[in-house]
Amino acid sequence: MIPARKDIKRELVRLLSKSGPKKSSEVYEYLADHFSLTPGDLSKTTDGKESYFEKEVRWAKKDLVDSGVIKRSSDSGHGVWAISESEVEEDLSPVLCQSPEEIEEALAKLTSTKAQPKGQEKPKRISSSNGGFERDARVIKYVLDQAAGICEVCDQASPFKKENGEPFLEVHHVKRLADYGPDFVTNAVAACPNCHRELHFGVNKEALRILLYSKIHRLVEA
Q: How far apart are CA 203 and CA 185, in angstroms?
A: 25
Residues 38-62: tens digit of each pLDDT: 998 888 888 878 888 999 999 988 8
Tell how strand 135-136 and strand 96-97 pair up. antiparallel
Q: What pLDDT was estimated at residue 128? A: 61
Residues 126-177: tens digit of each pLDDT: 876 566 899 999 999 999 999 999 999 999 999 999 998 999 999 999 999 9
Average pLDDT over residues 9-33: 87
Q: Which residues contact 12 (CB under 8 A, 6 or more apart)?
A: 27, 31, 57, 60, 61, 64, 70, 81
For each of the domains in the chain, give its residue range(s) and CATH number, in order of start: 5-87 (1.10.10.10), 96-215 (no CATH)
Q: What pLDDT was estimated at residue 67? A: 73
State if pTM tops 0.85.
no
Nearest to 194 by CA among 166, 157, 165: 157
Give the residue, 75 or 161, on which the prediction is more confident: 161
Task: Write the secondary structure of the chain as one string of H (helix), E (strand) and C (coil).
Answer: CCCCHHHHHHHHHHHHHHHCCEEHHHHHHHHHHHCCCCHHHHHCECCCCCEHHHHHHHHHHHHHHHCCCECCHHHHCCCEECECHHHHCCCCCCCEECCHHHHHHHHHHCCCCCCCCCCECCCCECCCCCCCECEEHHHHHHHHHHHCCECCCCCCECCCECCCCCECCEEEECCCHHHCCCECHHHEEEECHHHHHHHHHCCCHHHHHHHHHHHCCCCCCC
Q: Residue 88 — pLDDT band, cuts 50, 70, 90? A: very low
pLDDT higher than threshold 90 for residue 217: no
For 35-44, the CB contacts below 8 A with 24+ separation are: 35/3, 35/7, 35/11, 35/165, 36/165, 37/1, 37/2, 41/1, 41/2, 44/2
Share of the chain above pLDDT 90, in %: 52
CB atoms within 10 A of CB 122: 11
Average pLDDT over residues 198-217: 94
pLDDT higher than threshold 50 for residue 101: yes
Nearest to 115 by CA among 97, 141, 135, 80: 141
pLDDT higher than threshold 80 for residue 178: yes
Average pLDDT over residues 27-31: 92
